[in-house]
Amino acid sequence: MTKTVFDLIVVGGGPGGYVAAIRGAQLGMSVALVERAELGGICLNWGCIPTKALLHSATVLRACREAAHYGVTGAGDARPDLAAMVARSRKVAGRLGQGVAHLMKKNGVTVFAASAKLAGSGKLALDTGATLSAKHIILATGARARELPALPVGERIWAYRQALAPAEIPKSLLVVGAGAIGAEFASFYRAIGSDVTLIDMTPEILPQEDAEISQLARKAFEKQGIRVLTQCAVTASSPTATGVKVTLEQQGKKTDIEVDRVIVAAGIVGNVENLGLEKTRVTVEKTHIVTDAQCRTGEPGVYAIGDVAGAPWLAHKASHEAVLCVEAIAGLPTHAIDPLRIPACTYSYPQVASIGMTEARAREHAKQTGGEIRVGKFTFAGNGKAIAMGEDQGLVKTVFDAKSGELLGAHIIHPEASELITGYGVAASLEATEEDLMHTVFAHPTLSETLHESVLSAFGRALHA
């Protein structure tokens, strides 16, 4: 007979949910995980991982085309095999999905393939007809792509699932939304040959990033041939014989463009429907569940983590929240997550990564508190490893509190930005000051030396600028 009473039940098997289940099991709890679709969630199956697999294929293609620059001949006529790229991407996702299933079995987590709904104190009703019970229930149901009325998803208008598994390369493509997801799809499709237009309603692409970094990203995208339109919205669309006609409105002026396909990447909404929240004290604001510093909702014994619990919508935030939440349940000492110490990465070409405050936000904060800031910058054109790699375009920017030396923010644009940002993440977590970072010895020749030089620059001591 299948067990139905547990210490902890987790609803949703994404990077928040499955990590919560593992940590609960490690702490000696009997744990159940309820997942209605695929273990690993959207991130592993239809988001972070398969997207990065496609983007790496684009990186290899780009390297082949530029091989002659590095003294390698015969690779310059490399062409994309879209079917093979997609197949590899799906294989990567499948392998990791099997890995999560193995981890559940290894840790003794009971997995239910079902949808779940709160059914009274400490109870969950599954759509299979079963009822599960636990003193603690964690909701980790994630989020989905925001739908736009003017762009109904279908054969020619894609959300992320369709964009990750196309049958052919569109000759022309409109990407609506220039946040991380939109920028990544724009980079991939441009690399494999699509004529790409990227639009956003805000004044800059990657609007959550530092303005200077966003402007550099825009220049890099445009240099690659991506058409970028900001302060631009879609007001209507209609099918044509071969694609889609889309009406754009930019600063009061409307224009029509025709493209083969459209990708909608205009944000996400939390999966809060059909969870039985209506008869509980759980509060939902703007499609996200409200929680406290220990991930508790207004309903005793019910918790929420990850994307369904709000920004920042990042897999690593969800996983960290999962551990925090479960350890709090177990009575262990915990520390609330500081959003300013969570790195964010965009895997476009070039990549963009950041942590903490933008320069503008830091200046505003200093103005309000009567403080001052110091800003350091260092370009990769002064870094030996970057020059040797042929990737010497980019910038590292650091923002410090002038009095205390606290690292307030760090911002990087470079093809390896996502790997570099963790250096500043560790520094922020350890509350390292500018003096600590200045005294750190960075290996040579490495790209990470740019992190050091940017810190030195903020205090007028840059050595290679």
Q: Can you give the pLDDT at residue 407?
A: 97
- What's the token pair of residue 103? 């981890």
Strand ranges, E, within 150-229: 157-158, 172-176, 195-199, 227-229
Q: What is the pLDDT averaged over residues 312-322?
A: 95
Q: Is position 411 annotated as part of the catalytic site?
A: no
pLDDT band at 465 (very low <50, low <70, confident <90, very high): confident
| pLDDT tens string 242-252 | 999 999 999 89
φ, ψ dihedrals at 246, nearest 5°: -125, 135
Q: What is the pLDDT averaged over residues 441-458?
A: 97
Confidence check: pLDDT of 403 > 80: yes
Q: Can you give the pLDDT at residue 77?
A: 87
| pLDDT tens string 58-111 | 999 999 999 999 999 988 789 999 999 999 999 999 999 999 999 999 999 999
Sort 273 into a burial class: Cβ within 10 Å, 0-12 / 13-18 / 19+. exposed
Question: What proportion of the chain, given as a percentage, has pLDDT over 90?
Answer: 95
Q: Kindly name the residue from 288, 365, 444, 452 that is annotated as catalytic.
A: 444
> What's the CA dihedral at 364, 429, 320, 51 to 10 degrees?
70
Q: Can you give the pLDDT at residue 100?
A: 96
Q: Which amino acid is at 452?
A: H
- pTM of the shown model: 0.95
Q: Can you give the pLDDT at residue 35?
A: 97
**E strand or H helix at 452:** helix 449-458
User: What's the CA gap between 420 and 415, in Å, rounded?
Assistant: 10
Helix (H, G, I), strand (E, B) or coil at 341: helix
Q: Can you give the pLDDT at residue 187?
A: 98
Which range is least confidently modeled, 42-46, 116-120, 134-138, 452-456? 42-46
Confidence check: pLDDT of 1 > 80: no
| pLDDT tens string 153-198 | 999 999 999 999 999 999 999 999 999 999 999 999 999 999 999 9
User: What's the CA gap between 220 and 197, in Å, rounded?
Assistant: 14
| pLDDT tens string 336-382 | 999 999 999 999 999 999 999 999 999 999 999 999 999 999 999 99
